Amino acid sequence: MTTIGVLGMQGAIREHVRMLEALGADTLVVRSIDDLAHIDGLVLPGGESTAMRRLLDRYGLLEPLRTNTDLPMFGTCAGLILLATEVEGYDAHLRKIPMTVKRNAFGRQVDSFEVELPVKGIEAPVEAVFIRAPQVAAVEPIVEVLAEVEEAIVAVRYDKYVACSFHPELTEDLSMHRYFLDLVEAKKHQLT
C-alpha cells in the first residue's frame, strides 16, 4: 500500500487526506521528522507560505525536507511556493523545482476564481480554484509546464515534484491527486 503524507502545519489538510483516501492511498498527517520515514510521497497544502516556513523551522522539518532527494512532493498554492528555487522578493524554502515564483500574482482574496483547466497528462480538464494564487514567473528548460492560465504558468512537474497554483482539494476532482499518486507509485516500482 502507498502511504502519502500531508504536511500538517496549516491549510486544507483534511481535504487533501479525503482525496488521497478516495483514491485508495493510506495517509499520514506529517508533523515530525519521524513521520517522514513512514511515507512514500508528501503533499504540501495551501496556506500562507511565510507561516508555513516558520512552522517547518520550528518543528525541525525544513532541512530534512530540503536535503531529502528521494521523496516525491506535490505542492498546491503555498506548497508551490515552498517547492520553488526562487521566490520573488523572499527567501526560497525547499528549493526543489528550478523555477521562480511570484506570490499572490492573481490578486487578493476578492480576485479568486474557478476555471476548467487543461493539464498536460490528464485527459479531462481539471477543476481549478485560485485563491490569492501564486504563479510561476519563469522555469528552467528541464521543468515541464503542465498548465497555463492566460499565458501564466500555473502547474509544473520536475522529476518527482509536482506543483500547482490552484487548490484541487477544494473541488471533487481527483485528477491532480491521481496524477501525483501515479508518479509516487511509479517511483516505488522503480526502486523494487
Q: Which pLDDT score is estimated for 190?
A: 79
Q: Which of 8-12, 101-105, 159-163 has the highest mean pLDDT?
A: 159-163
Which pLDDT does position 146 carry in this prediction? 98
Show the domain range for 122: 3-191
- Residue 47 pLDDT: 82
Mean pLDDT over residues 181-190, rounded? 90
Region 26-32: what's the mean pLDDT? 96
pLDDT at residue number 106: 67
Are residues 21 and 27 in contact, defined by beta-carbon separation less than 8 angstroms? yes
Cell 498548465 locates to 147
Beta strands in 45-140 (DSSP E): 73-76, 84-87, 97-102, 113-117, 126-130, 135-139
The pLDDT of residue 20? 98
**Which region among 41-50, 61-70, 118-127, 144-153 has the lowest average model confidence (pLDDT)?**
41-50
CATH of the domain at 152: 3.40.50.880
Grade residue 192 by pLDDT with cuts at 50, 70 and 90: low
* Strand ranges (E), 24-112: 26-30, 41-44, 73-76, 84-87, 97-102
Radius of gyration of the CA atoms of the chain, in A:
15
pLDDT class of 189 with cuts at 50, 70, 90: confident
Burial of residue 92 (number of CB atoms within 10 Å: 0-12, 13-18, 19+): middle
Q: Which amino acid is at 153?
A: I
Q: How far, in Å, CA of 191 to CA of 175, rounded? A: 25
Number of domains in the chain: 1
Q: Lowest mean pLDDT: which of 2-6, 89-93, 99-103, 165-169?
A: 89-93
Distance from the Cα of residue 145 to its chain's centroid = 14
> Average model confidence (pLDDT) for the chain?
92
Among 77, 93, 164, 177, the one annotated catalytic: 77
What does the pLDDT look like over 70-129, one tens digit per residue? 999 999 999 999 999 999 988 889 999 999 999 876 666 656 789 999 999 999 999 999
Q: Catalytic: which of 15, 16, 164, 167? A: 167
- Rounded to the nearest 5°, which phi and psi values hold at 177? -70, -40
Query: Of the listed 15, 93, 164, 169, which one is catalytic?
Result: 169
Ramachandran bin of 82, using left for φ above 0, alpha for ψ from -120 to 50, beta for the remaining angles:
alpha
Q: CA 159, CA 176: separation in Å to the nearest integer?
A: 16
Record the cell numbers describing residue 61, joined without a space: 522539518
Which segment of 27-31, 96-100, 130-134 scores lowest on mean pLDDT? 130-134
CA–CA separation, 54 and 56 (whole Å): 5
Q: Does the active-site annotation cover 77? A: yes
Residue 110 has a pLDDT of 53
CA distances from 31 to 119, 140, 147 (A): 31, 31, 31
